[in-house]
Amino acid sequence: MFRVLVSDKIAKEGLAPLLESGQVEIVEKSVDDAKDLDTYDALLVRSATKVTDAVMEKMAGLKIIGRAGVGVDNIDVPAATRRGLVVVNAPDANTIATAEHTFALMLAMVRKLCLANASIRRGEWDRSSFMGSELFGKTLGIIGFGRIGQEVAKRARAFEMNVLAYSRSITPEKAGAAGAQASSLEEILTSSDIITVHTPATPETKGLLGEENLRKTKPGVMIINAARGGIVDEAALKRLLDSGHIAAAALDVFTQEPPESYELMQMEQVTATPHIAASTREAQLKVARVVAEEVLNFAMGRPVRNRVN
């Protein structure tokens, strides 16, 4: 029987395609705790389990790795490819959750909601310290215009924002369909009131918003990262927040998770959440179901749709 190790917490209802097939045995244990690792055909993970080459070495019978989510930076994909392993993910399933969380961060940041909430929880009634800004009429720059970037653009138009969008493959038609204007990275940096990042983590995007590019931005710009840690240089971001050039930032992801230091997140200008953009019941059910269906297709000899490698 095809054996599947579920190493991270994945919605039970989403695993229904596997559980109901009668063709698969599922074991829910981390790779650190599971025994007989070499007997598993498939490994299902979220972002917590690091699927290194060493893990693959221990799982000699492994054939497919399923990532219940989009990003695969916790999986050594080149090593999997060398070993002939298939890697699949769920690229569409958390799109809405992440786009909505981006706007939750944006609104919390511009209206200083977290500071106001903390104040009133302390028993204070301070109506003068939390003057915010409106989104109406502001220019939003979206770096990375895949599924999530496009959904963010659609929501920005509902707030009557001006939307600039950049990606390597963007076309005026693609941007226009989501209510955005195709732009260059340079134009987004120099023209945007708020910049939000929605690119994958790759060698090319690492440090994309580093010291040089952050200094090109308008004074008073606000930065959002709900994509992947490392795309925004956190040390450079802190320096420019300290200097006042960047007015505020909202972060859901960090270079190291959990961070060694919380100094950046403790700044008054920073709104931060612990990598929860995709953490909705609906999104987690969808990602689990999509990846479960992919693994079942593989086990039954059928084609997979969301192959990464």
The catalytic residue among 83, 239, 245, 275 is: 275
Determine whether 228 is an active site residue: yes
The catalytic residue among 46, 67, 198, 228 is: 228
Determine whether 257 is an active site residue: yes
Determine whether 157 is an active site residue: no
Three-class HEC string of the chain: CEEEEECCCCCCHHHHHHHCCCCEEEEECCCCCCCCHHHCCEEEECCCCCECHHHHHHCCCCCEEEECCCCCCCECHHHHHHCCCEEECCCCCCHHHHHHHHHHHHHHHHCCHHHHHHHHHCCCCCCCCCCCCCCCCCEEEEECCCHHHHHHHHHHHHCCCEEEEECCCCCHHHHHHCCCEECCHHHHHHHCCEEEECCCCCCCCCCCECHHHHHCCCCCEEEEECCCCCCECHHHHHHHHHHCCEEEEEECCCCCCCCCCCCCCCCCCEEECCCCCCCCHHHHHHHHHHHHHHHHHHHCCCCCCCECC
Pairing relationship of beta strands 139-143 and 194-197 according to DSSP bridges = parallel
The catalytic residue among 257, 263, 268, 282 is: 257
User: Which residues carry out catalysis?
Assistant: 228, 257, 275
